[in-house]
Chains A and B, each alone.
Chain A
Amino acid sequence: MDLKKTIRTLKRELDAMTAIQTFIAYAFLLVFLIAPLVLMVGQAFVYQGGTSFRWFVDLLSSPEYVSFTSRGGRLFEVRRGVMYLWGHDYGILLNSLLVAFFVTVFCSIIGVVAAMLMGRYRFPGKGIFRVLLLIPLLATPFVNAYIIGKLFNPRGGLINYLLVDLLHILPWRLDIDGLVGVILAQTLSYYPIIFLNVLASLNNIDPSVEEMAENLGARGLRLFRTITLPLFLPGLAAGAIIVFIFSLEDLGAPIGFTGARANPLSRKLVSYQVYSSFAEALTGSFSPKIAALAVIILFIAVAGFLIIRRYVNLRTYAMLSKGGRWSPRLRTPSVKTRVAIILSLLFLVTLASMPQIGTVILATSNWAISGTLPTKATGQYLGTLISDSDVTRAIVNSLLYSGAAVVITVLVGASIAYVVARRDIPGRSVLDILATIPVAVPGIALAVGYFLLFSSKMFRGSILDPLLDPALLMVFAYSIRRLPFTTRAVSAGLAQVDKSLEESSMNLGADRPTTFFKVVLPLIIGHILGGAILSFVYSMSEVSTSVTLGALREDRVPITFFISQIVYGVAAVGSVSIGAALCVLLMAVQITAMAISNYILKQKVAFLGV
């Protein structure tokens, strides 16, 4: 009976269009998300032809990966007038987890404080800070960490020059490098994720809820602890898990610091290990041990993501206010407090936008070779963007890959969003999760999976074989990794299209495809374009699969791979400025895209979250 009913429902719901949409979505996710990862997990359990935990036991018992005593490094150590802040090496795996943990904690603190200041107080210059606080979101892969490494260099770093030689504030020079350097670089780039999530939650709190608590006598910290904090905690959790995952899989900071300072400690991270093994992959073999390493961080990231997602879904409070006013509770603090707020935000913004400012300076001057301060402006590096054939090729490659990826991701993402939001077919919640999960899949894990699957016998010699040509794989990797952006943007659009608008169309005789194209599509086209733009921007600056799969063929490299090579020091001294010039290009693309979204499409670009 129930089965009969299910079949009847299915027959009705699965008209031709829904069937095609569902099929495309599942097929795409199966081939380019599930199969590679499943194969990778499988490989990690293979030892001498049998199934075994050998590689995991190997990893977890080897001090190189997990060590409970320091294997070297310096922290708060002062020697010959230099304070060393490097961190200690506890093995590659523990290092990655520790770094991700501290980055998450620091980002949470900065993000919550900034969000509270912006969301609850009134002070001059607030509008400007709203923009400035988001500067770190402008992608300057590799170069940002390179610049931080350069600024905190005890020999001629600008910060040390200012604080020690010029102002005599500090008794010793700071040497921030190694794991601490990675933590600093990542914290400065990722705190806006938490800031935005918490601010959105704060703005979503019905003011009368807080007013009621105050009315009952709760004030200050008590109000914060009992009412405000619990209400924005889901937003904080959503942002925090994203930061944690981003930190785990980040390659920009380890490579950037290596380029700036060549301290091996900044490379003792899982992401870097996986990345460097791609050099051997050129020979066509890939160590199962690396697959096991990728599996571990894949597992941690996905499990963390799913747990937090569940928690956030459970605690997403519908804030319905009937009547009353809904203007956020903004307080005007005393002059002293206002000055303090402005100064602390100014400090944060200055520190956090150093990489972006530095990138522009690096790209337009001789700073890369001049020492503490640049001495001469030059347009030669920006010029290479059009004159140097290697550089232009990388730019063209990235544009092509990203463009193609956007087409795919929009088709698949819009289909998924529509099926999930509107059709009652079995397995649609699976589809929903699969479309979101790429946020949690570390790019390097995906890259390993792609390599293993598409260089296997099944695909050898085909157009998907990465050893032959990695271009298509990068396109698919980009579209999988940015799928959540598009899906989410389209879902947001669909949420605003009342179901009755479609029903009235069908009631008047239009079948489902006609209804989709004449009623739904025109109403959500803005959201689709918004999602497409966002996906394009983030594809252009994609790092993990670009620098791994991209390494497999010289004439197929995308922008980010090119930058990583320059920063890493493969190219000639001073050429890091070319990398900076490419970052300036990326930032320009991003700013243009956001301007289009905000002012033309009137879309509030949804950034990141669970």
Chain B
Amino acid sequence: MVKVELKGVTKRFGDVLAAGDVSLQIEDGEFFTFLGPSGCGKTTTMRMIAGLEYPDEGRVFFDGEDVTNLPSFRRNTGMVFQNYALWPHMKVFENVAYGLRIRKVDGAGLKKRVDDALELVHLGGMGDRFPSQLSGGQQQRVALARVMVINPSVLLLDEPLSNLDAKLRVEMREEIKELQRELGITTIYVTHDQEEAMAVSDRVAIQNHGVIRQVGTPSEIYSFPRDVFIATFIGRGAILEGIASLSDGGPRVDLGGFTVDGVDTASAVGDGDRAACVMRPESFSVTEPGEPSNRLDGVVEWSSFIGPYREVKFNVGGTTLLVDVPPETETPVGGSLTVYIPVRRTIVLPWDEVK
């Protein structure tokens, strides 16, 4: 298992910046995720770790050793491709055995290790099939077994679940997480699905237009987004624009019809600046919490029963907010409603036109 470090890694494809000065450290045994919209450069960043692309500038280190110019076949990483990249002319057994044969393992040792790997991904006895005879989920497992069998120092997963249906996706991601925890292998995961990223990762890096916008644990990123892009990309809720004024307790934002007190998670809002105010629907409550909070009085515009909660479009002084209230709350359209949101959950960020 290794520690992976990127230092100032930059990669351009023509005019497109796929990775802009990416510097970060992935700890030994960590489950680390690159999250971002498609085309943000997350796959390219991973491919540079795999040695399938080479950075224009910057360096890549494995356990302090510079591997920047090392070809993929000398890095001992195990990459699962988005399309699985199973070799269609080889049976499952041969697909999995491939890496071992390259490493000159053969005979009984080979067979045992391949069988163990297939067992690990619950595909025992499927070795005789061709990839085309397997379902999508099974192909995914073969791809996983194929890299796990060589004991890679880093496991790289490039959108591994994007070709599976919703139910299988949740199952597989739990399995992958389970496997990673058991083996303690450094794992780097690429996805555009925020829920997936939150569910499996120790830490997440959010990337946009090649640049890493924030690195942190899922809860850090969710609760303390560093900029408007992250706040929009992660979680639900409207981003409201207003003018900030600073007081001792923190920023207060004038949102036109009303004002709220909040916390400046990026520590970048100045007095009189245009500011963005992020209020997550689930941060609201209908009873006053025992901490400093903002009270909002408004009118219900529309409400919809989701199950665990009721989603309400709520108009305060001409501004519409999305609010989750307990399912049993009476919310007739046109009726008035009062909700509270803790100050520490009212996030104030410098305004930024989201690109």
Q: A residues touching B (Cβ–Cβ < 8 Å)? A: 5, 8-9, 12, 498, 500-501, 503-511, 514, 518-519, 522-523
Question: Which residues from B are CB-within-8-Å of A506?
Answer: 51-52, 71-73
A507 in complex: contacting residue of B54, B56, B72, B89, CB < 8 Å: B72
Interface string of B86-105 (1 = CB under 8 A from A): 01110000000011001100
- Asked if B81 lies at the interface with its beta carbon under 8 angstroms from chain A, I say yes
Q: A12-B69, A514-B102 are in contact. List 7 more A-B contacts (CB 8 A).
A: A8-B54, A9-B54, A12-B71, A506-B73, A507-B79, A509-B73, A511-B71
Q: Would you call A5 and B56 a contact (CB within 8 A)?
A: yes
- Asked if B50 lies at the interface with its beta carbon under 8 angstroms from chain A, I say yes
Number of chain B residues close to chain A: CB under 8 A: 30
B contact face: mostly helix, strand, loop, or mixed: loop
Among A8, A506, A507, A519: residue with most chain B CB under 10 A: A507
If A12-B69, A509-B103 touch, whether A503 touches B81 (CB-CB below 8 Å) is yes
Tell me the minimal C-beta distance from A262 to chain B in angstroms.
58
CA distance A498 to B258 in the complex (A): 56
CA distance A500 to B143 in the complex (A): 12
B81 in complex: contacting residue of A9, A504, A519, A522, CB < 8 Å: A504
Q: Would you call A504 and B85 a contact (CB within 8 A)?
A: yes
If A506-B73, A510-B102 touch, whether A523 touches B78 (CB-CB below 8 Å) is no
Tell me the minimal C-beta distance from A11 to chain B in angstroms.
8
Q: Which residue of B lies closest to A522 (CB)?
A: B89
Among A8, A9, A503: residue with most chain B CB under 10 A: A503
B85 in complex: contacting residue of A503, A511, A514, A518, CB < 8 Å: A503
Q: Would you call A523 and B71 a contact (CB within 8 A)?
A: no
CA distance A12 to B50 in the complex (A): 15
Q: Would you call A523 and B52 a contact (CB within 8 A)?
A: no
Q: Would you call A519 and B72 a contact (CB within 8 A)?
A: no
Q: Would you call B83 and A508 a contact (CB within 8 A)?
A: no
Question: Which residues from B are CB-within-8-Å of A510?
Answer: 73, 98, 102
Q: Would you call A508 and B150 a contact (CB within 8 A)?
A: yes
Q: Would you call B78 and A500 a contact (CB within 8 A)?
A: no
If A500-B81, A500-B83 touch, whether A505 touches B71 (CB-CB below 8 Å) is no
- Asked if B194 lies at the interface with its beta carbon under 8 angstroms from chain A, I say no
Question: Which residues from A are CB-within-8-Å of B75?
Answer: 507
- Asked if B147 lies at the interface with its beta carbon under 8 angstroms from chain A, I say yes
Tell me the minimal C-beta distance from A381 to chain B in angstroms.
47
A-B contact pairs, 18 of them (CB 8 A): A498-B83, A500-B82, A500-B83, A503-B81, A503-B85, A504-B79, A504-B143, A506-B71, A507-B75, A507-B78, A508-B98, A508-B147, A509-B74, A511-B71, A514-B102, A519-B87, A523-B87, A523-B89
Interface string of B56-83 (1 = CB under 8 A from A): 1000000000000101111111110111
Question: Which residues from A are CB-within-8-Å of B98?
Answer: 505, 508, 510, 518
Q: Which residue of A lies closest to B74 (CB)?
A: A509
Tell me the minimal C-beta distance from A512 to chain B in angstroms.
8
CA distance A508 to B71 in the complex (A): 11
| 4 residue pairs, one from A and one from B, having the closest CB atoms | A508-B99, A500-B85, A504-B85, A506-B72
- Asked if B203 lies at the interface with its beta carbon under 8 angstroms from chain A, I say no
CA distance A8 to B77 in the complex (A): 23
CA distance A507 to B56 in the complex (A): 21
Q: Would you call B76 and A501 a contact (CB within 8 A)?
A: no
Question: Which residues from A are CB-within-8-Å of B72?
Answer: 503, 506-507
Question: Which residues from B are CB-within-8-Å of A12?
Answer: 54, 69, 71
Q: Would you call B78 and A508 a contact (CB within 8 A)?
A: yes
B73 in complex: contacting residue of A8, A498, A511, CB < 8 Å: A511
Q: Which residue of B lies closest to A521 (CB)?
A: B89
Q: Which residue of B lies closest to A503 (CB)?
A: B52
Q: Would you call B87 and A507 a contact (CB within 8 A)?
A: no
Q: Would you call A509 and B89 a contact (CB within 8 A)?
A: no
Question: Which residues from A are CB-within-8-Å of B99?
Answer: 508-509
Tell me the minimal C-beta distance from A139 to chain B in angstroms.
35
If A504-B81, A509-B103 touch, whether A523 touches B146 (CB-CB below 8 Å) is no
Question: Which residues from B are CB-within-8-Å of A511?
Answer: 71, 73
